[in-house]
């Protein structure tokens, strides 16, 4: 058993949506480090995307990280991104649907605009972008390994958080079920669909973890927030030969918040709090 080849992504072509910052940027770095020949980044903010390309280009090679500006909140943006990628590549080995949105508002004030924006980008876009890239992914699955699609969900789709982010939590729960349904269909074309559910990682979407990591860590069983290595490792596992037999699953990467967080009266042997 060759461990190096088991986790290698040597020569593969990848696309990471929302790859210019936060968790998306962590994925990009991991894919490049694992050997991807080219990693495409899509983002709305061109300057921010270019900064990420310049940063990783100097480390991994300017020809290995490529930006394509795209607004994936609209169908024409998805079609344009798919068409641009088809003009550049004959196949796609890895698609990470990372672009997303969050919206918090009190229940009685929660707006339809916030609902649509969050549900569209978090649930509609992963489905339809994958659909538009289907031919490239099928071709990727003929390269001697399955093509891989990873949807980025969230632990907020697995449990209730303290904030009034109704559409966000509903959308991320929907992504987890969408992963199962799409996996059942796409495995027929040698395309493996999975999901990653991050916990607290520093990003613009998770300002608490970014701005106050110690406070965030206090509620996490592992007693720290996630790092780029944690997120990159999850993606490399699922995208490489190591994850070929993992179909339709959601990999929770959260330091134990969902599955190892004990209520206070269990954590305290004295039963304190009652």
In 10 A of CB 197, how many CB atoms? 23
Of the candidates 149, 243, 150, the one whose C-alpha atom is nearest the C-alpha of residue 196 is: 150
> Helix/strand/coil (H, E, C) string of 106-125?
CHHHCCHHHHHHHHHHHHHH
Active-site annotation holder among 40, 107, 166, 168: 168
Known catalytic residue: 166? no
Calpha distance 127→76 (Å, rounded)? 14
Of the candidates 170, 125, 167, 168, the one whose C-alpha atom is nearest the C-alpha of residue 149 is: 125
What is the number of alpha carbons within 13 Å of residue 45 lying toward its C-beta? Answer: 10
Element (H, E) at 88: helix 75-88
Residue 14 CB partners (closer than 8 Å, separation 6+): 31, 36, 38, 39, 40, 92, 93, 94, 95, 96, 239
Asked if residues 29 and 20 have their Cβ atoms less than 8 Å apart, the reply is: no
Q: In whole angstroms, how far apart are CA 266 and each of 161, 219, 257, 269?
A: 20, 15, 15, 6
> Would you name the residues annotated as active-site residues?
168
């Amino acid at each position: 058993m060759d461990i190096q080849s088991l986790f290698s992504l040597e020569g593969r072509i990848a696309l990471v949506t929302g790859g210019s910052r936060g968790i998306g940027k962590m994925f990009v770095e991991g894919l490049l480090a694992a050997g991807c020949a080219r990693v495409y980044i899509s983002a709305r903010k061109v300057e921010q995307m270019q900064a990420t390309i310049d940063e990783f280009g100097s480390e991994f090679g300017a020809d290995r990280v490529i930006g394509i500006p795209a607004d994936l909140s609209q169908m024409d943006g998805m079609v344009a991104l798919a068409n641009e990628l088809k003009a550049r590549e004959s196949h796609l080995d890895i698609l990470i649907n990372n672009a997303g949105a969050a919206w918090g508002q009190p229940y009685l004030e929660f707006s339809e605009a916030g609902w649509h924006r969050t549900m569209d980008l978090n649930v509609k876009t992963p489905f339809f972008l994958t659909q538009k890239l289907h031919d490239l992914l099928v071709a990727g699955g003929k390269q001697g390994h399955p093509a891989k699609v990873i949807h980025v969900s969230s632990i907020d789709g697995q449990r209730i958080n303290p904030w009034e982010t109704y559409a966000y939590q509903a959308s991320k729960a929907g992504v987890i079920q969408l992963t199962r349904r799409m996996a059942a269909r796409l495995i027929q074309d040698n395309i493996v669909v999975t999901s990653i559910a991050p916990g607290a990682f520093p990003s613009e979407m998770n300002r608490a973890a970014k701005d106050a990591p110690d406070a965030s860590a206090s509620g996490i069983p592992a007693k720290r927030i996630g790092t780029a290595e944690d997120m990159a490792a999850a993606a490399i596992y699922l995208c490489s030969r190591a994850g070929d037999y993992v179909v339709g699953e959601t990999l929770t990467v959260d330091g134990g918040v969902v599955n190892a967080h004990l209520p206070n009266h269990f954590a305290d042997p004295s039963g304190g709090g009652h």
